[in-house]
Amino acid sequence: MEYDCFSEMMEEMREIHKMIQKLTSQKCHHLTVEQAKLIFLIAHQQMNQKEIAQKLRITEATLSVRIKRLVDMGLIERKLNEDDKRHYYIILSSQGEAFIDEMKKDFHHVHQIVCKGMTDEDYMAVLNVVKKIKRNLKEEIK
């Protein structure tokens, strides 16, 4: 019984993740959640690739792939750091800046769908449980 519930919980979490990815992609102009996070992050402050990778907790190689795709889509640009010509800042393009307000509305819609019927207390309870699971796993993996 105990393992059946655990297996069911893991499957439910996996399915939720997949559905949120799909909904986000549909509502946010076929961007992935990860691409959207990157766009929102650089919309608020100018950073180089290393700083962005640290904030997103990903490798610089993974970030490079995301950046290339968003550059190809015309949403972000690389801007040479005038103080250190070896580095570039990643910034929103003019198309990306026009796009950000629309994305905020789209993300708000996704959030509303995910949280529909939940009280603030429900939301916080789910968040706390997920954080406990994450903490337990991190402690064991170390």
pLDDT, one tens digit per residue, over 83-98 is: 877 788 899 999 998 8
Contact 110, 20 (CB under 8 A): yes
Q: Say which CATH class 2-141 falls into.
A: mainly alpha
High-pLDDT (> 90) share of the chain, %: 58
Residue 77's nearest CA partner among 104, 96, 56, 62 is: 96
Instruction: Give the sheet arrangement for strand 76-80, strand by strand.
Output: 47-48, 88-92, 76-80
Domain extents in the chain: 2-141
Question: For 7-47, what is each residue's pLDDT tens digit?
Answer: 999 999 999 999 988 888 888 777 888 888 899 999 988 88
- With bands split at pLDDT 50, 70 and 90, how would you rate the model's confidence at 1? low
Residue that is written with structure tokens 């950000």 in the block: 100
Distance of alpha carbon 8 from alpha carbon 100, whole angstroms: 37
Contacts of 45 (CB under 8 A, 6+ apart): none
